[in-house]
Amino acid sequence: MAAYFLLIVQIIGIFIVLYSQALADYLLKSQFSRFTTTKTTSLILIVSSFMIFQLFFSS
């Protein structure tokens, strides 16, 4: 059961990463600065990765 849960969490994490990259691409084309979007994307990637690793090690 825990293995299925981890798989679902990892899939969600991948979708979060893809969505954040798409969002960053969209923001780069709008009036926001490149630095802000890169910083936001990095933050989202770090948080999502941390949540996946935390769940992986806690089980």
The 10s digit of each residue's pLDDT in 39-53 is 777 777 778 778 777
Terminus-to-terminus CA distance in the chain, angstroms?
11
CB 41 within 8 A of CB 18: no
Backbone φ and ψ of 31, nearest 5°: -80, -5
Mean pLDDT across the chain: 75
CB 57 within 8 A of CB 18: no
| Mean pLDDT confidence for 5-13 | 82
In the chain, where are the structural domains located?
Answer: 2-58
Quick one: residue 5, left, alpha or beta (phi over 0 = left, psi -120 to 50 = alpha)? Answer: alpha
Q: Which residue has the higher pLDDT, 7 or 35?
A: 7
* Model confidence, pTM: 0.42
